[in-house]
Amino acid sequence: MEATFTSLKATRRDLDEQFEEVDRLNEALDNLEQYTRENSLEFHGIPENSYQSTEEAVLELAAALDVQITPSDIEISHRLKRKSGDNAIIAKFCSQK
């Protein structure tokens, strides 16, 4: 009985250590992903039928906000498909400027 209890405590300790490692790894992954998203912006609330391409939507929104960008400033843009139904547009720009 004592051996089983000791074994159970050791297993629980190993499990707790694994949970802590998973938390550390998730945080490290989030930090890395955040770095890769540095040049990206998400745009919400733009109806899908109001433009022909996501690039056009980003350019029109920039013009409405009096922000000077050209198509060559946009590396890529596309819709994000989400279960929540909020299909935002994400645009990755060539520069942070």
**pLDDT, tens digit (0-9, with 9 covering 90-100), for 2-26:** 778 788 889 999 999 999 999 999 9
Domain of residue 13 covers: 1-36
Q: How many domains does the chain have?
A: 2
45 and 23 housed in the same domain: no
Do 43 and 31 belong to one domain?
Answer: no
Are residues 57 and 69 in contact, defined by beta-carbon separation less than 8 angstroms?
no
- pLDDT at residue number 74: 96
pLDDT exceeds cutoff 90 at 1: no
* Residues 17 and 61 grouped into a single domain: no
- Mean pLDDT, the chain, as a whole number? 89
Q: What is the predicted pLDDT for the residue at 49?
A: 85
31 and 44 part of one domain: no
* Domain shared by 43 and 32, yes or no: no
Q: State whether 74 and 53 are in the same domain.
A: yes
Distances (CA, A) of 2 to 7, 12, 13, 16, 70: 9, 15, 17, 21, 72
> pTM of the entire structure?
0.62
